[in-house]
Amino acid sequence: KAGVTQTPRYLIKTRGQQVTLSCSPISGHRSVSWYQQTPGQGLQFLFEYFSETQRNKGNFPGRFSGRQFSNSRSEMNVSTLELGDSALYLCASSLLLGNEKLFFGSGTQLSVL
């Protein structure tokens, strides 16, 4: 089985721009969650989707949004980028909801200049 695929691998943007990140879960996995990883904060939960519905959202501003499609693929969007948004964005998929093992992608490294 192919693992969780995230594209693009690297992104460089400037302040004020917007960005869209993509995640394809493992085939058959219906839950996709997103995390922001930074050296000082570790992994911070952004949101989780299951069957195209956002089940929970972390403590991030409204500039961070996402969605999930009928094939379970997910996208994450960040508008009006700020320098502090520079981070590694990780996507994880799991078969079901809650208490399930997470399978992570390699991440998208976003740099905001």
Partner 1 sequence: AQRVTQPEKLLSVFKGAPVELKCNYSYSGSPELFWYVQYSRQRLQLLLRHISRESIKGFTADLNKGETSFHLKKPFAQEEDSAMYYCAFPTSGTYKYIFGTGTRLKVLA
23 touches 107 (CB < 8 A): no
Residue of 31, 68, 72, 93 interacting with partner 1 (CB under 8 A) = 31
**Per-residue string for binding with partner 1, 57-96, x by CB under 8 A?**
-x-------------------------------x-x----
| Identity of the residue, 85 or 107, whose beta carbon is nearer to partner 1 in the bound complex | 107
56 binds partner 1 (CB under 8 A): yes
Region of residue 76 (left: phi > 0; alpha: psi -120 to 50; beta: else):
beta
97 binds partner 1 (CB under 8 A): yes
Cα separation of 64 and 78, whole Å?
5
